[in-house]
């Protein structure tokens, strides 16, 4: 289980030399936001140790790190994580207080010795008594929600007698605490050690997400929370919650309770407002944004159970068949419903963005419906149903905009030429020629996130993490300006064949490969080194 | 009509009638697993020739019991006559590539019982680790286990597995795979494995068991003496798969031996030489054996009651099934059931659609197919993902 590092990491006296891993040299003043990856100087030759070295289990690999062979000891009974002098955050910062306790548990929790009064033993190493956390920005962010422009950079100095973790905002402190906890290791005798080191770190991409699908299979709260923990271990910062879809509607709506009453698998398979709040707060405490996806107009079969008249009735000739298709785009009632529904969603979910879906709209049902056909004629759309789809989407986008939310959409919305606000985030998911799609999206001036090569629900035999690790998101034809528009990516775990019985082993540690790809420098690509670090990281996560 | 119960007569007992005693014995290949289940008003009877059939019948009975929306348990009037098509229905677990804690094995045995599996093929040791704690050769696990304190199966663990299995009508067939797949044996048994050579000098690495030394056969005899007494089943699985000849070829003493024996350059003959001696040892210990198909493919002389385990897909396996049964041997099928080879979607269908007897052969041949095994090799499997991957 987490943090009982069975393998001796820093064997006394085995460490060799000074390690220098400059990937991108960063000035000591921490800049706001994640700097674009400048062409990095070639990393200096790393001296390979004959034994284990502390970086052997860092994941994701920090942007810049320097360690020495000098080790410091930590005494669980005395070691403390505290607010440092000059920090704009203090004991009132619940987020950090919670993090201090959590990371203390991770580091020493498995040790039965932490309560005992054990003499420092034979080690002559100096003691590290504290990690001081200093938040430098005037507004630390303790009580706010993380967002796309949050500053996740941090600077960690581990020397005696106290280590110092500096970050602009609490979000960087969370990332730094995770890294610090990865540096602390146990030797063969059970002593807790950490090597003197200095780390400068920040994420390469600002949007690093995991998609969970709670419609194909309901995921109990515990499952989601465990997953948020795992995300924090890997510095993921977005939970893309694909909460409803065709199969079931587990979201308990306040304005429209029938949606889940009729659309959920059962009353036991719902998320109450309290559940939602829990997830959002649990995520917030780990610096993770929760972006809900209410996918329309396709993928909405379950909506029709509790909201009669919302979906398009399909026809066979003159007669309705009794089955339904996508949301009916021609009725005012549809937009009245959506206005009220998204008002609720906008207030329940604090993130600045809502994902509106817009993928895989099957036009067959619309084509069969005489009223829809009539509407097409009236609007002058001809037989181009993509125009009808765009007509619908645009109205939804406007509704959501009016609530001051930004939106994310699947690529079809862009491909079918809907009129999008410039800050729209387009999620590229179709595997075929996704580099080309990235060019198109960013070429049209839109922000993009990449999911296409990272559909982790597509399992296969063997070490497929390597395939995910080897993706280079910026490998698409485009200008510097365009590359800047790719703000990150997501590992997706669609739920057709996933539920609480197999979610965790299926998602992790494969998603870790994506986590490093999105955080670390572009030149961190060595598979052997990654394998070494990932195997250690995985054991730690357990 | 007013007093009519929504459900029929309440049932108070399931009578279990077993014709032949055998509660304290171990299940075997010949065990009778047939049973009859009769459920009617006020009368529930499960009858079987042997306790093993009663176990199967109990499982079925438990699957018939339903619960309505008021919480009432009910069962429909039913008549069942059931027996297995194949007597050997196995599951392979690999505890060498990754150690599996006892709990994971016991849990697997429970689920096997739910599915009427009756053989636990315990691929207990292999190249990566040797978790089996031997009393004759304690160094094997001391040096060969991933961790000699925590990643071992003690004698008591093994007995726990055997008894837990027995209570579920499941045979435990241990596999000590030789002469290949034995790297983890080396540290605890110096001199057992063949030293590989780079030119004239030993390279420092090792290969399969050294087939030319007497000490090898002494060791094997002692080890299998112990294994034969620890595992009560009549059959042992002796492995014999994927023997890499490179190391043997590199070793000058072996080359000399090949010459002496007149084997020429055919190292399959050397492999056979070893296997034959091994089989004789096992026979003399009063055990029967199962071997992987290479032993048959390489022309080793085996006893007529040997069971050949078909696993390769290099030749279409129906062809191999035909060859094996034509030569008069009994066959076990695993080739299409390597469940460790995961893929996206409902791959259970491919496994389900396999027809084991679909191969060219006369009825006598078909009769020699005694069953099959689903294999869960452990390269990418441990206790964190075993259950959802297997079931």
Of B340, B345, B388, the CB nearest to A502: B388
Confidence of residue B162 (pLDDT cuts 50, 70, 90): very high
pLDDT at A4: 34
User: By the CB < 8 Å criterion, does B384 face chain A?
Assistant: yes
pLDDT at A208: 98
CB half-sphere exposure, A117, CA atoms < 13 A:
0
CA distance A468 to chain B (A): 16
The answer to whether B388 contacts A458, with C-beta atoms less than 8 Å apart, is: no
* CB contact set of B79 (below 8 Å; sequence gap of 6+): B37, B38, B39
* Spatial separation of the C-alpha atoms in residues B349 and B340, rounded to whole Å: 15
User: By the CB < 8 Å criterion, does B107 face chain A?
Assistant: no
How big is the A-B interface in CB pairs under 8 Å?
Answer: 31
**How large a percentage of chain A has pLDDT more than 90?**
84
The answer to whether A461 contacts B387, with C-beta atoms less than 8 Å apart, is: no
Structure tokens, A93: 């910062």
- At A61, give phi and psi (nearest 5°): -70, 125
Residue of A nearest to B343 (CA): A460
Structure tokens, B273: 């030489």
With beta carbons less than 8 A apart as the criterion, state whether A185 and A10 touch: yes
- At A109, give phi and psi (nearest 5°): -55, -40
Interface of B with A in 340-379 (CB under 8 A): 340-346
Mean predicted lDDT score pLDDT of chain B? 96
Instruction: Give the mean model confidence (pLDDT) for residues B242-251.
Output: 96
CA distance B242 to chain A (A): 20
Looking up tokens 């465990």 gives A226
pLDDT at A275: 98
pLDDT at A31: 28
* Spatial separation of the C-alpha atoms in residues A373 and A366, rounded to whole Å: 7
**Omega before residue B208 within 30° of 0, cis:** no
Q: Which residues on neighbouring strands pair with residue A425, listed in sequence order?
A: A408, A447
Looking up tokens 């020495």 gives A68
Residue of A nearest to B338 (CA): A461
Residue of B nearest to A499 (CA): B388
Residue of B nearest to A6 (CA): B147
* CB contact set of A347 (below 8 Å; sequence gap of 6+): none
- Residue A541, H or E segment: helix A527-541
Residues of A marked as catalytic? 360
The answer to whether B344 contacts A501, with C-beta atoms less than 8 Å apart, is: no
User: By the CB < 8 Å criterion, does B246 face chain A?
Assistant: no
Tell me which residue of B225, B111, B235, B222 sits closest to B172, measured CA to CA. Answer: B235
* Spatial separation of the C-alpha atoms in residues A488 and A150, rounded to whole Å: 14
The complex scores an ipTM of 0.90
| C-beta neighbour count of B84 within 10 angstroms | 17
Q: Residue A502: list chain B partners with CB under 8 A.
A: 385, 388-389
Of A458, A461, A505, the CB nearest to B388: A505
User: By the CB < 8 Å criterion, does A504 face chain B?
Assistant: yes
pLDDT at A55: 75
Residue of A nearest to B341 (CA): A461
**Residue of B128, B313, B341, B342 best to disrupt the A interface, most CBs of A under 10 A:** B342
Q: Residue B344: list chain A partners with CB under 8 A.
A: 457-460, 497
User: By the CB < 8 Å criterion, does B313 face chain A?
Assistant: no
User: By the CB < 8 Å criterion, does B385 face chain A?
Assistant: yes
Q: What is the DSSP string of A145-188?
A: ---TT----EEEEE-SSEEEEEESSHHHHHHHHHHHHHH-EE-T
The answer to whether A461 contacts B380, with C-beta atoms less than 8 Å apart, is: yes
CA distance B386 to chain A (A): 9
User: By the CB < 8 Å criterion, does B60 face chain A?
Assistant: no
DSSP letter (8 states) at residue B99: -
Instruction: Give the mean model confidence (pLDDT) for residues B225-243.
Output: 97
pTM for the full predicted model: 0.90
CA distance B341 to chain A (A): 5
Of A460, A463, A501, the CB nearest to B343: A460
pLDDT tens sequence across B319-369: 999 999 999 999 999 999 999 999 999 999 999 999 999 999 999 999 999
Instruction: Give the mean model confidence (pLDDT) for residues B219-235.
Output: 98
Of B342, B384, B385, the CB nearest to A460: B342
CA distance B50 to chain A (A): 36
The answer to whether B388 contacts A461, with C-beta atoms less than 8 Å apart, is: no
Confidence of residue B106 (pLDDT cuts 50, 70, 90): very high
The answer to whether B344 contacts A460, with C-beta atoms less than 8 Å apart, is: yes
DSSP letter (8 states) at residue A460: B
Confidence of residue B272 (pLDDT cuts 50, 70, 90): very high
Instruction: Give the mean model confidence (pLDDT) for residues B170-178.
Output: 98
Residue of B nearest to A1 (CA): B384
| C-beta neighbour count of B322 within 10 angstroms | 18
Instruction: Give the mean model confidence (pLDDT) for residues B285-299.
Output: 95
User: By the CB < 8 Å criterion, does A189 face chain B?
Assistant: no
Q: What is the DSSP string of A60-128?
A: SPPSEEEEEEEEEEE-TTT-EEEEPTT-S--TT-HHHHHHHHHHHHHHHTT-GGGSS----TT--PPB-
**Residue of B98, B384, B391 best to disrupt the A interface, most CBs of A under 10 A:** B384
* Spatial separation of the C-alpha atoms in residues A276 and A284, rounded to whole Å: 12
* Spatial separation of the C-alpha atoms in residues A135 and A198, rounded to whole Å: 17
| C-beta neighbour count of A91 within 10 angstroms | 9
- The one-digit pLDDT tens for each residue of chain A (542 residues) are 443 333 333 333 333 333 333 333 333 333 223 333 333 333 333 333 223 566 789 999 999 999 999 999 999 999 999 999 999 999 999 999 999 999 999 999 866 555 555 555 556 789 999 999 999 999 999 999 999 999 999 999 999 889 999 999 999 999 999 999 999 999 888 899 999 999 999 999 999 999 999 999 999 999 999 999 999 999 999 999 999 999 999 999 999 999 999 999 999 999 999 999 999 999 999 999 999 999 999 999 999 999 999 999 999 999 999 999 999 999 999 999 999 999 999 999 999 999 999 999 999 999 999 999 999 999 999 999 999 999 999 999 999 999 999 999 999 999 998 888 888 999 999 999 999 999 999 999 999 999 999 999 999 999 999 999 999 999 999 999 999 999 999 999 999 999 999 999 999 999 999 999 999 999 999 999 999 999 999 999 99
User: By the CB < 8 Å criterion, does A4 face chain B?
Assistant: no
Residue of B nearest to A500 (CA): B388
* Spatial separation of the C-alpha atoms in residues B210 and A322, rounded to whole Å: 74
With beta carbons less than 8 A apart as the criterion, state whether B91 and B112 touch: yes
* CB contact set of B152 (below 8 Å; sequence gap of 6+): B131, B132, B133, B141, B145
Of B343, B346, B387, the CB nearest to A461: B343
With beta carbons less than 8 A apart as the criterion, state whether A182 and A59 touch: yes
The answer to whether A462 contacts B384, with C-beta atoms less than 8 Å apart, is: no
* Spatial separation of the C-alpha atoms in residues A452 and A414, rounded to whole Å: 15
Structure tokens, A359: 């993928």
User: By the CB < 8 Å criterion, does B43 face chain A?
Assistant: no
Instruction: Give the mean model confidence (pLDDT) for residues B264-288.
Output: 95
pLDDT at A44: 36
User: By the CB < 8 Å criterion, does A505 face chain B?
Assistant: yes
User: By the CB < 8 Å criterion, does B69 face chain A?
Assistant: no
């Amino acid at each position: 289980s987490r943090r009982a590092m069975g393998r001796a990491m820093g064997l006394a006296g085995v460490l060799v030399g000074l390690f220098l891993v400059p990937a991108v040299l960063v000035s000591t003043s921490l800049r706001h936001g994640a700097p674009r990856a400048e062409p990095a100087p070639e990393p200096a030759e790393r001296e390979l140790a004959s034994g284990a070295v502390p970086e052997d289990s860092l994941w994701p690999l920090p942007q810049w790190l320097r360690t020495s062979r000098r080790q410091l000891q930590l005494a669980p009974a005395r070691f403390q994580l505290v607010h440092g002098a000059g920090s704009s955050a203090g004991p009132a910062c619940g987020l950090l207080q919670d993090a201090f306790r959590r990371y203390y548990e991770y580091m020493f929790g498995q040790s039965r010795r932490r309560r005992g009064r054990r003499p420092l033993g034979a080690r002559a190493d100096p003691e590290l008594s504290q990690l001081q956390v200093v938040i430098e920005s005037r507004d630390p962010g303790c009580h706010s929600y993380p967002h796309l422009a949050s500053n996740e950079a941090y600077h960690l100095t581990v020397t005696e007698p106290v280590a110092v973790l500096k970050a602009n905002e609490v979000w960087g402190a969370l990332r730094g605490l995770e890294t610090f906890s990865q540096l602390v290791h146990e030797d063969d005798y059970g002593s807790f050690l950490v090597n003197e080191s200095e780390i400068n770190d920040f994420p390469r991409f600002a949007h690093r997400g995991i998609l969970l699908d709670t419609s194909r299979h309901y995921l109990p709260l515990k499952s989601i929370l465990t997953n948020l923990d795992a995300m924090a271990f890997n510095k993921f910062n977005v939970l893309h919650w694909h909460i409803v879809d065709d199969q079931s509607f587990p979201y308990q709506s306040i304005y429209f309770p029938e949606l889940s009453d009729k659309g959920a698998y059962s009353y036991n398979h719902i998320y109450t407002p309290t559940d939602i709040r829990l997830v959002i707060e649990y995520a917030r405490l780990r610096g993770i944004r929760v972006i809900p996806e209410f996918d329309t107009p396709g993928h909405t079969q379950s909506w029709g159970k509790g909201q009669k008249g919302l979906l398009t009735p399909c026809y066979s000739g003159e007669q309705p068949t009794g089955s339904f298709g996508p949301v009916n785009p021609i009725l005012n009632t549809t937009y009245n419903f959506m206005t009220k529904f998204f008002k609720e969603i906008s207030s329940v979910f604090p993130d600045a963005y809502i994902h509106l879906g817009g993928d895989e709209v099957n036009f067959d049902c619309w084509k069969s419906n005489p009223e829809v056909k009539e509407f097409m004629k009236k609007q002058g759309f001809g037989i181009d149903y993509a125009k009808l789809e765009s007509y619908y989407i645009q109205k939804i986008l406007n509704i959501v905009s009016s609530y001051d939310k930004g939106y994310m959409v699947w690529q079809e919305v862009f491909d079918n030429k809907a009129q999008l606000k410039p800050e729209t985030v387009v999620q590229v998911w179709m595997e075929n020629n996704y580099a080309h799609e990235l060019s198109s999206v960013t070429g049209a001036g839109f922000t993009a996130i990449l999911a296409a090569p990272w559909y982790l629900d597509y399992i296969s035999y063997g070490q497929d993490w390597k395939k995910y690790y080897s993706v280079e998101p910026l490998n698409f034809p485009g200008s510097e300006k365009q590359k800047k528009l790719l703000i990150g990516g997501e590992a997706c775990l669609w739920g057709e064949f996933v539920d609480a019985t197999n979610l965790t082993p299926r998602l992790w540690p494969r998603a870790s490969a994506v986590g490093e790809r999105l955080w670390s420098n572009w030149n961190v690509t060595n598979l052997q080194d990654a394998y070494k670090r990932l195997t250690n990281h995985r054991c730690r996560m357990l | 009509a007013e007093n009519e119960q929504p459900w029929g007569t309440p049932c108070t007992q399931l009578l279990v009638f077993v014709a032949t005693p055998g509660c304290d014995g171990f299940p075997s290949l010949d065990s009778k697993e047939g049973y009859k289940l009769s459920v009617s008003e006020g009368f529930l009877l499960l009858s079987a020739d042997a306790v093993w059939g009663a176990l199967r019948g109990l499982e079925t009975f438990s699957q018939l019991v339903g619960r309505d929306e008021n919480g009432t348990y009910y069962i429909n009037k039913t008549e069942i006559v059931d027996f297995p098509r194949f007597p050997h229905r196995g599951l392979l677990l690999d505890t060498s590539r990754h150690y599996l804690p006892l709990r994971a094995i016991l849990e697997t045995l429970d689920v096997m019982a739910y599915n009427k599996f009756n053989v636990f093929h315990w691929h207990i040791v292999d190249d990566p680790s040797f978790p089996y704690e031997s009393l004759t050769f304690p160094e094997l696990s001391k040096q060969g286990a991933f961790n000699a304190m925590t990643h071992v199966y003690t004698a008591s663990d093994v007995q726990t597995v055997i008894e837990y299995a027995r209570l579920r009508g499941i045979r435990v067939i241990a596999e000590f795979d030789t002469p290949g797949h034995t790297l983890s044996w080396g540290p605890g048994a110096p001199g057992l494995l063949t030293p590989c050579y780079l030119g004239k000098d030993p390279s420092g690495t090792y290969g399969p068991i050294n087939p030319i030394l007497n000490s090898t056969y002494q060791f094997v005899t002692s080890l299998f003496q112990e294994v034969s007494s620890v595992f009560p089943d009549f059959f042992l699985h002796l492995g014999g798969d994927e023997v890499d000849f490179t190391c043997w070829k590199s070793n000058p003493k072996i080359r000399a031996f090949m010459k002496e024996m007149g084997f020429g350059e055919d190292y399959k003959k050397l492999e056979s030489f070893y296997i034959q001696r091994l089989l004789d040892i096992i026979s003399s210990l009063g055990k029967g054996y199962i071997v992987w198909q290479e032993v048959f493919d390489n022309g080793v002389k085996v006893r007529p009651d040997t069971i050949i385990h078909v696993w390769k897909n290099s030749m279409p396996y129906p062809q191999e099934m035909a060859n094996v049964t034509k030569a008069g041997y009994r066959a076990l099928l695993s080739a299409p059931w390597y469940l460790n080879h995961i893929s996206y979607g409902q791959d259970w269908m491919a496994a389900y659609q396999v027809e084991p007897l679909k191969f060219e052969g006369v009825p006598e041949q078909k009769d020699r197919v005694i069953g099959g095994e689903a294999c869960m090799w452990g390269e990418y499997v441990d206790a964190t993902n075993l259950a959802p991957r297997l079931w």
